[in-house]
Structure formats: C-alpha cells, structure tokens
C-alpha cells in the first residue's frame, strides 16, 4: 500500500488552555502555555501502524513537522515530496522553513497553514497514493476532503483537534492504524466543521463541508448529533446532590451539564469547563491548569460530563481541558438524557493517555433522571 501521511502540527493546541480550538489563536495558545497535541497523536498512529504492517507500506509524506520528522523518528523511511512553505520540488530533507526536529510533545512546532496541507495532499494525489491519512481536526479534514473531491482516493483522520465532529475520523490513533492495515472497501461519509468564534460564544452550528470516501470500518466515529430531550429532572437531581456535598465539582461542557449549572444558579460557560465548590464558582471557562489549581485533595473531587450525542465520547471530543491529570484526581459522574443514550450504543474515551483509557473502559452507571441510572459500557 502507498500511504500519504500529513500532520497539522498545531491542531488541538488551544484545547487544554481553554480556547476551544486553534483557528486564529495559535499565538494566544502559546502565551497560555499550550503544547502541541498532534505530534504525539501521530506518533501513536505510526507506532501502531509499524507493529501491524511492518515494512509493507510505502509512506509518502510532507516535510518537517508535517510528517517527515515524525515518520523517521518512528522508524519509517518516507518519500518526502515537499515541506512547509515549499513547492513540491523542494524539501527532500523535509526541512522547509521553520521545520521542527524530532523530540517530545513539548517541542516547538513550525508555522504551517491550510495551504501547506492543500499542497501536500495535491502532491499525494499526483503520487497516486492509495489512502490519504491526516492528523488534525475538522478544519484539516475539510481542507483534505476538498482537495480529493472528484477523485476515488479515500481519506482517514487521526483525531487531534478539539471538536472532531466529522465521521471521517478513527476513534483513536491506534484504531486508525488498524483501519489502514485491514480495510478492503470504502464508503462516502460527511465532513463537518463549525465557526470557532461562534463556538467560543456557545453557538454550535455544524456545517457540511464535503463528502469524502473513507474506509469501511467499525473503528470510525459517527457524525456529531445535537442532543435533545427533557433534562430538567436530571439536572435538578444532580444539582441537589452537588449542593449537599462538600466536594469540588468540575462541570464539563454541553447543554446537559449546562442545565445543571443553571439549576445551581449560575451562568456557566456553555462549551467550557467550570469548577464549583460549596456554593461558589471557583473557575469559569477554566483551562487545564486552572482546574488543577482549583481541585481539592484526592478523593474530594468529581468531574461531571455528558457524552456527545450520536458519538458517545465522554472524554476526548470538545473537552480537552479535562486532561488525564484532571481525570485521575476526580471521581467520574456521567449524565445524559434517555433520548441521548438511545442514540448511543456504547460510550467512548480518547484522553491522550492509553493507560487511562484502559482504566476507564468497562461498565459504568450513567445518570438519566433525578434518581434513575442506566448501565452503559465504555469501550
């Protein structure tokens, strides 16, 4: 198989520092101490791919931090067709202006643009790859899909953005590798994106950007579905329990947990994370570091989240502020309306920490009413 592999190195950087995306916010994310997320996601996918296919894949990529550095670091010998800021005839080294070296997730990343992604995918098509794999979020997916539109070349996303609403993504980097190694046919799927400025103001209006061919596999996520259903009784019951407790509560994003915030009597950030303890809001629209600062001693913290309708993600989509460090210091309460759970067969997690993901998997109780709970499986 000939595989085109490209990384958007800044994808998802704004998530843990509370920016809910990185579009137009790279410098602000860096000022807040954001670290790249996409390179580690790419490493995990490449490591899993190497385990499953060995040398039975011809890797075609783009220079520097957009793929070449990471591919070589993980033991591949890629064919580099160009680099950031270059034309496809430049960058055999994968250098390109500002390209980063190998290293850890805290390394600086090069300045790249959507045009770099477009040029990379165009070069992949000219090289007649069998599959284009990209590491990024919905914006990257839209850029890739628009380039391949009209061709029969399928695409597959390794999720690294904040939102990831589109159905062209694998559930995790390891799942992406399995799909690459095993798929036999493709189907048409939706690429969705939203306006991040509206998203930061609490407005979610997913827009269909493209239709793309994607491998047929169970390891792909569904499109985001906007939730519905009466959550008033659920929110009232949760809020009553919160008021009676002396613990610190980390309240996740979304309309279901938003109803809990309303019941508690404060206007929370609808798509952000807020922290509450003993009748007081400790942090609004908090970043990972602000959440960690507000937490109490071990065993005295609870994170309340609701799965994404249609997809079932509890962690890893839309709430990267709830990092592994935060989750490990909290008990978990999952809340959802009956109607939302009816659209979800199973719950999912994708925390950037495979060991934590494994710990979270299994059967768990989901609160669906003032008192009622339903058993659901995290897979």
- Measured CA angle at 75 (ends 74, 80), to 5 deg: 90
> What's the CA gap between 42 and 148, in Å, rounded?
21
- pLDDT per position as a tens digit, 38-77: 999 999 999 999 999 988 899 999 999 999 999 999 999 9
**pLDDT tens-digit map of 278-333:** 999 999 999 999 999 999 998 999 999 999 988 899 999 989 999 999 999 999 99
Share of the chain above pLDDT 70, in %: 82
- pLDDT tens for 113-151 read 899 999 999 999 999 999 999 999 988 999 999 999 999
pLDDT of 18: 55
Per-residue model confidence (pLDDT) at position 86: 62
| pLDDT attached to residue 98 | 33
Beta bridge partners of 207: 193
- Among 14-28, 114-128, 185-199, 206-220, the range scoring the smallest mean pLDDT is 14-28
User: For residue 101, what pLDDT band results from cuts at 50, 70 and 90?
Assistant: very low
pLDDT of residue 281: 96
**Residue showing tokens 């995290």:** 378
For 363, residues 6+ apart whose C-beta sits below 8 A from its C-beta are: 375, 376, 377, 378
Q: Is the pLDDT higher at 161 or at 195?
A: 161
Lowest model confidence (mean pLDDT) among 54-58, 207-211, 291-295, 342-346: 207-211
Give, for 144, the enclosing helix (H) or strand (E).
helix 138-148
Q: Supply 63's token pair.
A: 């220079």
For residue 141, which of 181, 100, 191 has the smallest C-alpha distance?
191
- The average confidence (pLDDT) of the chain is 85
Q: What is the DSSP code string of 72-92?
A: HHTT---EE---TTS-TTS-T
Q: Is 241 exposed, middle or buried (0-12, 13-18, 19+ CB in 10 A)?
A: middle
């Amino acid at each position: 198989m000939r595989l085109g592999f490209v990384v958007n190195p800044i994808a998802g950087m704004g998530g843990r520092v509370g920016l809910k995306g990185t579009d137009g916010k790279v410098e602000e994310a860096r000022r807040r101490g954001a670290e790249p997320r996409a390179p580690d996601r790419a490493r995990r996918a490449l490591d899993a791919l190497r385990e499953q296919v060995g040398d039975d894949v011809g890797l075609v990529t783009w220079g520097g931090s957009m793929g070449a550095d990471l591919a070589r670091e993980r033991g591949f010998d890629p064919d580099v067709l160009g680099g950031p800021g270059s034309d496809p005839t430049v960058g055999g080294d994968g250098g390109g202006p500002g390209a980063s070296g190998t290293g850890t997730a805290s390394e600086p990343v090069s300045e790249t643009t959507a045009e770099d992604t477009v040029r990379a995918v165009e070069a992949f098509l000219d090289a007649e790859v069998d599959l284009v794999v990209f590491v990024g979020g919905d914006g990257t997916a839209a850029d890739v899909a628009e380039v391949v539109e009209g061709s029969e070349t399928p695409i597959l996303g390794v999720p690294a953005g904040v939102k990831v609403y589109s159905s062209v993504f694998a559930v995790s980097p390891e799942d992406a590798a399995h799909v690459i190694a095993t798929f036999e046919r493709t189907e048409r799927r939706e690429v969705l994106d939203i306006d991040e400025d509206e998203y930061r103001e609490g407005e979610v209006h997913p827009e269909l950007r493209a239709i793309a061919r994607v491998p047929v596999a169970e390891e792909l996520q569904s499109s985001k579905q906007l939730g519905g259903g009466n959550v008033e009784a659920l929110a009232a019951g949760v809020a009553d329990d919160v008021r009676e407790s002396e613990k610190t509560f980390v309240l996740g994003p979304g309309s279901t947990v938003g109803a809990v915030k309303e019941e508690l009597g404060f206007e929370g950030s609808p798509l952000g994370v807020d922290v509450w303890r003993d009748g007081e809001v400790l942090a609004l629209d908090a970043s990972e570091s602000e959440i960690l600062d507000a937490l109490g001693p071990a065993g005295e913290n609870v994170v309340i989240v609701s799965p994404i309708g249609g997809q079932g993600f509890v962690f890893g989509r839309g709430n990267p502020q709830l990092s592994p460090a935060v989750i490990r210091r909290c008990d978990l309460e999952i809340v959802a309306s009956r109607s939302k759970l009816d659209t979800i067969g199973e719950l999912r997690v994708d925390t950037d920490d495979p060991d934590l993901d494994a710990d979270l998997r299994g059967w768990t109780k989901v609160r669906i009413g003032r008192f009622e709970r339903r058993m659901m499986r995290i897979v």
